Chain A
């Protein structure tokens, strides 16, 4: 199991050909209290970098982009009911959706945990 990160602060956890996607703890800190999420429906085809979900906080609304291409298999219904999980558990129970990867080689261009940590530290 590996976890990869994007410059737009999404994470994707890989198990076989299934990726679980969410936003990083850094992203939720920047957003502030999340009040609404809109998730893609199962069956939707996502392309790398395309808009996949929407997350809205008291401060701002942001798009969540697909970190890899694939077909959505499931979205986290519990998150729609309780958007605060993005704040309390961004990288665990606060996952957004799962997808079947169509081009796993795209993962090579994403950052690992150490590289992402260094990237975030460079932002401020």
Chain B
């Protein structure tokens, strides 16, 4: 119970709060919701009374107050500062989510993105007033084409899955252009990202899974058996979501092309190979690149994603608008279908995530080609270091070496009564954000760890020490201790099942909550 007498307080057995009068622990404040701090009539500033201008809503009448809480300015500042202190972020510590690539966002990027010439432009400004911003987009497009060897790119997509959709729509446009719109099946390996089948289904394709081999890679023979004249494309993730490089990728591209289909590659894991592998040489037709992963622009609550897509020569005519073209010494935005030939339209109202373009190009230019090469190498080295240091106490389903992330299953927990979830919760008590759990699905009780190149050996060693101790403790059969974790968080183990079965998505005042319960 906090000083607001908050009725939703978690009862004692599940609360981490100690025995203080306030419920606060040290300087960690037990913060009520902002609506629970409402003091009607209180306001941050003194405003003059509203003149009576009457309603200008035509036949629409307001039903009543919109119910904004009344607080003073310092109350609001403290509320959001306290909430931010409860947050965990890459700026606070190791954040080893597999496949999410939570790496350091260099402050230089932020400085560049705040330059008024980039930060204060409007997408509807005349081209003549935004030549610098257009030049930056053109330069970024050049880098993305140079790093992938691909001849065309769209910067518009808002994030990875949106990029997948842009790529798959270009493939559909190309197929329709050559009169093969009847191809309706898309092959998706089990080792692909979960967004791949979702993208194919969202634009009307049927999804046909390809099984993985015992080595966690695409089963080439199974793929060959599934190919046919009704196949539009394959969507392959490389490196795949088991953290492994698809060694047969060139053979895969050859059989897919021989069958008249296109090859979409999910490039979300490009950060493992940038500067070292040229996607064009692998036979890829379209691939998205997550600027918010490979090129360090913030995400995960910290900023919007950005998912440019590169295209092969076969798909280049179908690149969506808009894109930047250099016309003499001026940059112009190609905005209309038809101007570029066969573009299928546009992915966004405007031109993409400008702030992310600035950050990504800042990262590229400050690293240089050799620095990008070094970064992907360090990311892979760090993951393999974790794999090597943990392999004797945890169990890896596939033999290494791995790429930028290392994967374990829950065989090392067999018979202990401790689950993957329990390990993750105990890791929170040790001060680390948990790894990705229970994904990929091809592995039982998966623990997928991506340390990124950000972490020093010291940081990795601390993480290893904690995780080794937990794995060894689990083997002593201390299941009850694990099931009681986390102990030191603002709330103890949350009831995720109840949250999914009976979600409460909107705060309501107490009387309404009671009514709803009746």
Query: How many A-B contacts if CB must be within 8 Å?
Result: 17
Which residues of A are found within 8 Å of B500, using beta-carbon distances? 33, 35-36, 58
Which chain B residue shows the least CB distance to A56?
A: B500
Which residues of B are found within 8 Å of A36, using beta-carbon distances? 500
Does A84 lie within 8 Å of B438, measured CB to CB? no
Query: Can you list, as one digit per residue, whether each of B484-517 has a CB less than 8 Å from chain A (1) or not (0)?
Result: 0000000000001100110000000000000000
Which chain B residue shows the least CB distance to A30?
A: B444
| Most B CB within 10 A of own CB, among A33, A36, A60 | A33
| Most A CB within 10 A of own CB, among B438, B441, B500 | B500
Nearest CB on B from A51, distance (A):
10
Count how many chain B residues have C-beta atoms less than 8 Å from C-beta atoms of the other chain: 7
Any B CB within 8 A of the CB of A83 = yes
Does B501 lie within 8 Å of A83, measured CB to CB? yes
Query: Can you list, as one digit per residue, whether each of A97-121 has a CB less than 8 Å from chain B (1) or not (0)?
Result: 0000000000000000000000000
Which residues of A are found within 8 Å of B441, using beta-carbon distances? 60
Does A35 lie within 8 Å of B438, measured CB to CB? no
Which residues of B are found within 8 Å of A35, using beta-carbon distances? 497, 500-501
Any B CB within 8 A of the CB of A44 = no
Nearest CB on A from B344, distance (A):
30
Q: Which residues 16-71 in A have Cβ within 8 Å of B in the complex? A: 33, 35-36, 58-60
A84 to B497, CA, bound (A): 9
A85 to B496, CA, bound (A): 17
Does A59 lie within 8 Å of B438, measured CB to CB? yes
Which chain A residue shows the least CB distance to B497?
A: A33
Does A60 lie within 8 Å of B438, measured CB to CB? yes
A60 to B501, CA, bound (A): 14
Nearest CB on B from A14, distance (A):
29
- Within the complex, which residue of A58, A83, A84, A124 is in contact with B496, where a contact is CB–CB below 8 Å? A58
Which chain A residue shows the least CB distance to B445?
A: A59
Nearest CB on B from A124, distance (A):
8
Which residues of A are found within 8 Å of B501, using beta-carbon distances? 35, 83-84
Nearest CB on B from A60, distance (A):
6
A35 to B496, CA, bound (A): 10
A43 to B180, CA, bound (A): 34
A83 to B497, CA, bound (A): 11
Which residues of A are found within 8 Å of B414, using beta-carbon distances? 124
Query: Can you list, as one digit per residue, whether each of B307-348 has a CB less than 8 Å from chain A (1) or not (0)?
Result: 000000000000000000000000000000000000000000
Q: Which residues 403-446 in B have Cβ within 8 Å of A in the complex? A: 414, 438, 441
Which residues of A are found within 8 Å of B497, using beta-carbon distances? 33, 35, 58, 84
Nearest CB on A from B392, distance (A):
21
Which residues of B are found within 8 Å of A58, using beta-carbon distances? 496-497, 500
A83 to B414, CA, bound (A): 27
Nearest CB on B from A64, distance (A):
15
A27 to B15, CA, bound (A): 33
A33 to B441, CA, bound (A): 16
A84 to B414, CA, bound (A): 25
A84 to B438, CA, bound (A): 20
Which chain B residue shows the least CB distance to A124?
A: B414
Which residues of B are found within 8 Å of A84, using beta-carbon distances? 497, 501
A83 to B438, CA, bound (A): 21
Nearest CB on B from A84, distance (A):
7
Nearest CB on B from A80, distance (A):
12
Q: Which residues 462-503 in B have Cβ within 8 Å of A in the complex? A: 496-497, 500-501
Nearest CB on A from B144, distance (A):
34
Nearest CB on B from A18, distance (A):
30
The 17 sampled A-B contact pairs (Cβ below 8 Å) are: A33-B496, A33-B497, A33-B500, A35-B497, A35-B500, A35-B501, A36-B500, A58-B496, A58-B497, A58-B500, A59-B438, A60-B438, A60-B441, A83-B501, A84-B497, A84-B501, A124-B414
Interface residues of chain A, those whose CB is within 8 Å of chain B, are 33, 35-36, 58-60, 83-84, 124
In the A-B complex, list the 10 residue pairs whose CB atoms are closest, starting with the nearest: A35-B500, A33-B497, A59-B438, A35-B501, A58-B496, A58-B497, A60-B441, A58-B500, A60-B438, A35-B497
Interface residues of chain B, those whose CB is within 8 Å of chain A, are 414, 438, 441, 496-497, 500-501
Other than A33-B496, A35-B501, give 15 A-B pairs with Cβ distance below 8 A: A33-B497, A33-B500, A35-B497, A35-B500, A36-B500, A58-B496, A58-B497, A58-B500, A59-B438, A60-B438, A60-B441, A83-B501, A84-B497, A84-B501, A124-B414
